[in-house]
């Protein structure tokens, strides 16, 4: 299951205000706002994962990068993991980290 902030009535909320819902629903959150969400997730003891789509691109390309993220994650647990999905000259690159690295 997935939800979009617009469809669950959270459009316009500040990033820090979304964290209560993200925690409560145990969402793996997908964003292209690396700065704010990396900081917010860095304070979490445990979380269901964070996916950051690095380049700000048109929706069609965002969907392609998101499909790459889903393929990279597969069926495995994603707890306390950060995945950065980037578009480079060589194609789509996925980099995975334990986050926070405690």
Phi/psi at 56 (5° precision): -85, 105
**pLDDT per residue as tens digits for the range 56-73:** 888 899 999 999 999 999
Q: Tell me, yes or no, whether 52 lies in a domain.
A: yes
Chain centre distance of CA 38: 9
Q: Domain count of the chain?
A: 1
Report the distance separating Cα 70 and Cα 64, nearest Å. 10
Q: Tell me, yes or no, whether 54 lies in a domain.
A: yes
Mean pLDDT for the chain? 92
Kindly write down the DSSP assignment for every residue of 34-93, as one continuous string.
HHHHHHHHHT-SS-S-EEEE-S---HHHHHHHHHHHHHHHTTS--TTEEEEEEEETTEEE
Q: Tell me, yes or no, whether 5 lies in a domain.
A: no
**pLDDT per residue as tens digits for the range 13-59:** 999 999 999 999 999 999 999 999 999 999 999 999 999 998 788 88
Q: Tell me, yes or no, whether 29 lies in a domain.
A: yes
Q: Tell me, yes or no, whether 82 lies in a domain.
A: yes
Residue span of the structural domain in which 83 resides = 15-98
Asked whether 86 and 93 are in contact (CB, 8 A), the reply is: yes
């Amino acid at each position: 299951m997935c939800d979009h902030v617009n469809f669950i009535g959270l459009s316009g909320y500040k990033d820090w205000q979304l964290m209560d819902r993200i925690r409560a629903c145990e969402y793996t959150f997908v964003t292209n706002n690396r700065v704010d969400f990396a900081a917010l997730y860095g304070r979490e003891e445990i979380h269901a994962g964070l996916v950051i789509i690095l380049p700000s691109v048109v929706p069609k390309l965002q969907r392609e990068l998101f499909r790459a993220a889903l393929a990279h994650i597969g069926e495995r647990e994603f707890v306390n993991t950060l995945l950065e999905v980037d578009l480079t000259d060589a194609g789509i690159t996925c980099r995975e980290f334990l986050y926070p690295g405690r």
